[in-house]
Every structure is written in structure tokens, then in C-alpha cells.
Amino acid sequence: MALIEATAQKYHNLRFNNIAKSLALLIKQAEDNDLSYLQFADILVEHELNLRNNNRLRLNLRRANFSQIKRLDEFDYSFQTTITKKQINSLMDFSFIDNRENIIFIGPPGVGKTHLSIGIAGKAIDAGYKAFFCSSLELLEILELAEIKGNLKQQINSLAKFDLLIIDELGYLPMKKQHMYNLFQFINTMYEMRSLIITTNKDFTNWGDFFCGDNVAVPIVDRIIHHAKIFMLGGESYRLKNSNCV
Ligand code: ADP
Ligand code: MG
């Protein structure tokens, strides 16, 4: 075995797979650029760190389960004027995640609630946090399945591995009693432990109706809105902006 292959194998054995894969190229670049030993030592470790970081970001993006890719810098604040860029930018230090605070976007369809949620979560992933997106229907299905299998607690704990959970469209459809009970378990576990972003078309004054006035409604809403930043979005639907509807 050539020396370079034997050396690459040693890096591989130590799980420096990225150095192992590119060792020949990195050595050639170092020789071509007359790098010092110290510079080369640093380049090797930087190469491994950068690629590991990129892989982790890619993995976290895949695990985030975004329904679509939406970027914050594509959000048009001249169309949606009930929230400012400054308000959204002030969230970008992610202290709301560190402090386990929630964000709630309330508003009618098409005003950008989902876009903003995915945009914020995308930036949080870039910053090294783990996020998970699901519609409230998806969440209730996940919880129901787990409950039937008798592992609701484990399922909720595995969701709690994410730093930030987005529940999209909470309150669009009425919920069964068991769904409400499962949701309560979920919200109760996440309360002051993880951050939630919730989008809804219901003002809280109507949440009682949506939860069918059930006893569990009050503690659910109470936990969600305690430590929450609430944004009321209004205006026209962006979806109708370019349509031919009059
Ligand atoms: P909501 O979740 O409030 O129903 P969405 O976030 O799904 O609305 O927005 C509907 C569509 O319009 C999406 O494709 C979204 O990217 C786009 N959109 C909404 N508001 C804006 C905006 N202010 N700037 C750019 N695109 C927007
Ligand atoms: Mg939406």
C-alpha cells in the first residue's frame, strides 16, 4: 500500500473521514501554495470541521420536515405591513429559543404565517439549532399513532429533542377528545422546555370554541401563551395578489 493510502486509512480509522477522502488533494494544494507546516496542520482540521458542519446542517434541514422551502429574505414587508422586518430581525439572536419562549402568528389565510415560520426555523438551523415542522393535523396523527401503540410518552420525548417545534395551522379544524388530551400531554412536556412556533387563524378568544369548551382547553392555551411573543398578521392574502380574482 502506498504511504498516502496507509496514512489516509489511519485518518479514516480515527473517523477523520473527510481528511481521509481528500488527503492527496489537500497535500497537493499545500505543496502548490508553499504552505508552512502549521498552515497545513490547520487546513486539515478546518477541512474536517467544515465538512462535518455542512453535513450536520444538511441533516438537520432534512429532519426539519419543512413542507416547503421558504426564505426570510424573500418575504416582502411592503406587502405584509402588519409586521416589520425589524420585529422579525429582533428574533434572529434566537434568545427566544434559549429562553424557551413561543412565537404565535395569528391571521387569516395567505398572509405569510407559514412562510415566516419556516423562514425563522431555517435561520435557526443555520445557527445550529434543531427544528421540526409539522401541521397540527400531522402532529395529532403522530401522537394518536403513538398513543395507540402505547408509546405516547416516548414519542413526545423524541419530539422534545428538537429545540424548536413549529405547529402549523392549529385550530383550523375541530379536535376529537383524545386528540385534545394527546395535545395537552405534548404542550405540557414542551412548556418551558422547548420553543414552539404556532400559526393559527383563531384569535385566542375563539380557542374555547375550537377546543369545544373542554376543560383541557384552558391549560393548553394558558401554557402556549405564557412566555409567548404574539404577532397578529392582517391584510390581503398574498395568494390572491397575482390572481385574476376581483
Ligand atoms: P399563511 O400560512 O398565512 O396562510 P403562507 O405563508 O402560506 O400564508 O403564504 C401563502 C403564499 O404566499 C406562500 O407561497 C408565501 O411564500 C407567499 N407569501 C405570503 N406573504 C408573503 C410576503 N409578504 N412576501 C412574500 N411572499 C409571501
Ligand atoms: Mg399556512
pLDDT of residue 213: 61
Whether residue 112 has its Cβ less than 6 Å from ligand 1: yes
Last residue of a domain, one of 46, 63, 80: 63
Q: Which atom of ligand 1 is nearest to the CA of 233?
A: 3
Q: Do the domain assignments include residue 193?
A: yes
pLDDT computed for residue 245 by the predictor = 52
Per-residue model confidence (pLDDT) at position 216: 80
Residues 34 and 86 reside in one and the same domain: no
Q: Does residue 100 sit in the same domain as residue 76?
A: yes
State the pLDDT at residue 208. 66
**197 inside domain:** yes
24 and 101 assigned to the same domain = no
pLDDT averaged over every residue in the chain? 93
Residues 6 or more apart whose CB falls under 8 angstroms from that of 37 comprise: none
Q: Which domain holds residue 36?
A: 2-63
Q: Are residues 104 and 153 in the same domain?
A: yes
For the CA of 232, the nearest ligand: 1
CA-proximal residue: ligand 1, atom 10 (nearest): 110
56, 79: one domain = no
Q: What is the atom index within ligand 1 of the atom nearest the CA of 109? A: 4
Q: Is 64 in contact with 125 (CB distance < 8 Å)?
A: yes
Per-residue pLDDT tens digits for 148-167:
999 999 999 999 999 999 99
> Is 194 close to ligand 1, i.e. is its CB under 6 Å away?
no
- Say which ligand is closest to the CA of 231: 1
pLDDT at 125 over 90: yes
Q: Is 114 in the pocket of ligand 1 (CB under 6 A)?
A: yes
Is 162 part of any domain? yes
Query: pTM higher than 0.85, yes or no?
Result: yes
Ligand nearest to the backbone CA of 105:
1
- Digit-coded pLDDT (tens) for 9-56: 999 999 999 999 999 999 999 999 999 999 999 999 999 999 999 999
Same domain, 220 and 191: yes
DSSP track, 70-123: --GGG--TTT--SS-HHHHHTTTT-HHHHTT-EEEEE-STTSSHHHHHHHHHHH
Query: Which has the minimum average pLDDT: 126-130, 181-185, 212-216?
Result: 212-216
